[in-house]
Structure 1
Amino acid sequence: MPRNGEHDYSATVVWTGNLGDGTKNYRAFSRDHEITCGVKPTIHGSADPAFLGNSSRYNPEEMLLSSLSACHMLWYLHLCSDSGITVSDYIDKATGIMIESENGSGHFKSVTLKPSIKIGVEDDAELAKSLHDKAHSFCFIANSVNFEVRCEPAIRNG
């Protein structure tokens, strides 16, 4: 149970990319790693291919983008349910822009969520659209990042 609204999370990240010489030089190792959270299925991670990562594995930048999208969606669905809006389909094709600095570090400049949502035939599309602002203000992940997170929803009655 949460203590005073505080929730604890844990994850284990194990580097699996030692190709025999460890990190002897920048190209001597793989960026592959495994992420586990308790007994849930393993997430196979790596770096972005631009940083010598494995393109068939998830990279941290994709995971951040996915976390923002999923958190927003979960709040949105909650708020629609509370407001009498019936969502029958929700697909977000989120995008993000990361800026690499001259010294090799970097940061996200922005993320844009682009959810396409189908609601009930009789449901109020304007109310459904407005609930995105509230979802954004409640999103735990969006409230934890230091860059702009925009939302460009497309609502259709169906």
Structure 2
Amino acid sequence: MVIGRAKQHHYEVRVRWTGNTGEGTGSYRGYERSHDVAAAGKPTIPGSADSAFRGDPSRWNPEELLVAALSQCQMLSYLAVAAASEVVVVDYADTATAEMVTHPDGSGEFTSATLRPAVTVASPDMVETARGLHDRARELCFVARSLDFPVHHEPTVRAAG
């Protein structure tokens, strides 16, 4: 797989709070956590806090978005190394989970995440190679490499048919 030379990339998103109920943040219970996450040319994502923190459970929260980004990154890295290794992936689905702790002072952090990708390849002779590609994808995933907590992998691979 040809990687190329080092490059700097820039990403820009806009987050706008939409939860002012008329009194701003005059009290902790007096405002909504609703907000919009937007980027040029993309659909807006309705966001809020986790319902545990007075958020709207029908909207995406930052914790879910972090886990989604991790899962997406791993999948895209895996598909790239599969293509480079001539492993034909015909289906990929992941159920990703993560654990977070909060502290009495209001701070908190993620302590671990687990990805459980279920991969289907085109033929039985690709299964073993496909299993081994998960480690390489983990090494390449930009998001996982940027996190300060362990990311565990519990992949399954099967042949189509």
- Pick one of 50, 68, 71 that aligns with 1:48: 50
Checking the alignment, whether the CA contact within 8 Å between 1:13 and 1:36 is kept in structure 2 is: yes
**What CA distance in whole angstroms lies between the structure 2 residues aligned with 1:110 and 1:41?**
30
- Pick one of 14, 18, 21 that aligns with 2:20: 18
SS of aligned partner of 2:43: coil
The structural deviation recorded for 1:124 is: 2.4
Report Cα offsets for 1:54-104 as digits up to 9, x if no partner: 000000000000000000000100100111111111000000000111211
SS of aligned partner of 1:141: helix
Unaligned residue ranges in structure 2 (runs of 5+): none
The structural deviation recorded for 1:6 is: 0.2
TM-score (norm 2): 0.94
User: For residue 93 of structure 2, what is the aligned residue in structure 1?
Assistant: 91
Report Cα offsets for 1:107-131 as digits up to 9, x if no partner: 0000000011111123321211111
**What CA distance in whole angstroms lies between the structure 1 residues aligned with 2:20 and 2:28?**
12
Moved over 3 A (4+): none
Identity of aligned residues (%): 46
Q: CA RMSD in A?
A: 1.1
TM-score (norm 1): 0.96
User: For residue 121 of structure 1, what is the aligned residue in structure 2?
Assistant: 123
**What CA distance in whole angstroms lies between the structure 2 residues aligned with 1:81 and 1:56?**
37
Unaligned residue ranges in structure 1 (runs of 5+): none
